[in-house]
Amino acid sequence: MSERPKTDPELDLVLERVVDVRPELVWRAWTEPEHLMQWFTPAPWTTVACEIDLVPGGAFRTVMRSPEGDEFPNDGCYLEVVANEKLVWTDALEVGFRPTRKEPGPHCPFLFTAHVLIEPHGAGTKYTAIAMHSTAASRKTHEEMGFHDGWGTALDQLVAHAKEMDTEKA
């Protein structure tokens, strides 16, 4: 298993759960756009576009649509990719590690780095999502915006979608 990042409770948010789908399905749900778009944004929001270039410096881009029809693009790049184990990306950098030119906005008033760790656990997966922030204020804002509920709901949606993927394969 890849090295786990050192977290700081003053700066980082962590969601950790054991889910009853295999690590390979969690990986595919995170790394194949047609699958990520099915679960990534907590309903009733939707993900209407996704671009993934699964290499360090490659694009990780999504467009979320609110129930009112407003669209919110999120651009970033991968920092680390370890197949079936770890994804690390940030919105502080654009493709090719270029520092972002965007200013934080109302739907995302901070920049952060995300780690998704996928570990085999019995017949399922130990899933860990970490959102790292540069300041305690950014962390607090992200938490108050609903990090745990939002990322938890998205994980529930990922699990449901991964089970459908597994059924279709059988």
Instruction: Determine which of 55-69, 90-104, 116-130 has the lowest per-residue pLDDT on average.
Output: 90-104
The topology under which CATH files domain 12-169 is Alpha-D-Glucose-1,6-Bisphosphate; Chain A, domain 4 (3.30.530)
Q: Are 33 and 50 in contact (CB under 8 A)?
A: yes
Q: What is the spatial distance between Cα 138 and Cα 28, in angstroms, rounded to a whole number? A: 30
Q: How big is the chain by its Cα radius of gyration, in Å?
A: 15
Is pTM beyond 0.85? Reply is yes
Q: What is the spatial distance between Cα 82 and Cα 1, in angstroms, rounded to a whole number? A: 9
Query: In this predicted model, what pLDDT tens digit does every residue of 134-143 receive, in sequence order?
Result: 999 999 999 9
Mean pLDDT of the chain: 93
Per-domain residue ranges for the chain? 12-169
Q: Are 12 and 129 in contact (CB under 8 A)?
A: no
